[in-house]
Copies of this chain bind each other. A is one copy, B any other.
């Protein structure tokens, strides 16, 4: 499952650490999700959508 975290973070000039704090997860979790090592849980996906003010579908992409 691909995602646009890196770009969204860059647009806001947030470090992985900063995003992790806003999401209340570890920096390693943000890194792992961002680099595609695993997908977030659904509750975390909702929090991610919330901090960016976007729909889940606008951040995480069904990949072919």
Interface, chain A (partner B; CB < 8 A): 1, 39-43, 45-46, 49-50, 55-57, 60, 62
Contact = CB atoms under 8 A, between A and B. Distances in A.
How many copies of this chain does the complex contain? 2
Contacts of A50: 62
A4 B16 CA distance: 33
B60 A42 contact: yes
Given A1-B42, A39-B43, A42-B60, 12 more contacts: A1-B43, A39-B41, A39-B42, A41-B42, A42-B42, A42-B45, A46-B60, A49-B57, A50-B62, A55-B55, A55-B56, A56-B57
Contacts of A49: 57
A55 B54 CA distance: 13
